[in-house]
Amino acid sequence: MITSAQDMQAWSKRVHGAGETIGFVPTMGSLHRGHLSLIEKARAAADHVVVSIFVNPLQFGPGEDFERYPRSLESDLEALRHSGVDVVFTPGLSDIYPDGPENTPTLSAGEIGDVFEGEHRPGHFDGVLTVVARLFQLVACDVAVFGKKDAQQLIAIEQMVAREGFPVKIIRGDIVRDDDGLALSSRNVYLTPEGRADALILQRELRAIENASNTTDPTDSLERIKQARQVLREAPGIELDYLEAVSSDTFTPWEQHPTGEMVVVGAIRVGTTRLLDNVWMPSVGAHSSGQ
């Protein structure tokens, strides 16, 4: 385990000096099988793998769950013991933000930071990009893996890498689900058994939308999204924040910019817990973007 920025940079310098590559999976801890699947992708793409564990205060807004965000370093280290990770990087706050988070200039996510999750959590993506950029600097990774479950975060990071010129290849990791279909998330621990049962309706509606896209005509999917939105608005035990089709290239509404893959993104509240899920539909995107 490496705990300081200086030691992390020294390790990375030795690895690159030997002509070897570094794969990176940044996390906030509370690890689950979804994280382990990202690590597997990193292992396949690089000679060495670094996993960071750092709960980033800059991506939590007022009234959000920074203080109660689940922290379980011992169980995280146990989960990583047999995962093939070379380094677990657990920096302190001063390693990431030497002048303190309140005095650290943040990177702007641009337009993608103001819609969907950004609208509900102002400044969130600026905080995400700021910590990811700092971690890229310290780890000096060649490859980094981010999950498709947090689709908006993934695309915002891809845009940042292109914009800032980071020499890092971004790999997209598939969504991992529990046996009941719920997308794995560190925040699932907040759900009561009843809340978990209520939350499953989002995944069921997303699956129905995906099944409706068995043709390459996006009209079928867009019509099914309207139906699903109404179902979710009327569903007991949850509150719908949004359900929309966006472009995987720009994260703008699909009907405005039908490029890349169609991604249907949804967010619901179950009690005080906010859950995200999505489905990527390459068959629709391939047709509509002329690929």
CB half-sphere exposure, 132, CA atoms < 13 A: 31
Q: Which of 16, 35, 120, 287 is catalytic?
A: 35
Q: Is 1 marked within a binding site? A: no
Q: Is 152 marked within a binding site? A: no
Would you say how long the chain is, in residues?
Answer: 291
Beta-strand relationship, 262-270 and 239-247? antiparallel
Q: Is 83 marked within a binding site? A: no
Q: Is 29 marked within a binding site? A: yes
Strand, coil or helix: what is 183?
A: strand
Indicate if the alpha-carbon torsion angle 137, 143, 74, 60 is positive or negative.
positive
Q: Single out the residue of 119, 120, 133 nearest to residue 162, CA to CA.
A: 133
Residue 257 falls in the annotated catalytic set: no
Q: How far apart are CA 279 and CA 23, in angstroms?
A: 26
Q: Is 16 marked within a binding site? A: no
Q: Is 48 marked within a binding site? A: no
Q: Is 82 marked within a binding site? A: no
Q: How far apart are CA 3 and CA 216, in angstroms?
A: 49
Q: Is 84 marked within a binding site? A: no
Report angle CA 74, 38, 281 to the nearest 5 degrees: 140
Q: Is 31 marked within a binding site? A: yes
Binding site as annotated, residues: 28-35, 59, 147-150, 153, 176, 184-187
Binding site as annotated, residues for ATP: 28-35, 147-150, 176, 184-187
List the catalytic residues. Answer: 35
Binding site as annotated, residues for beta-alanine: 59
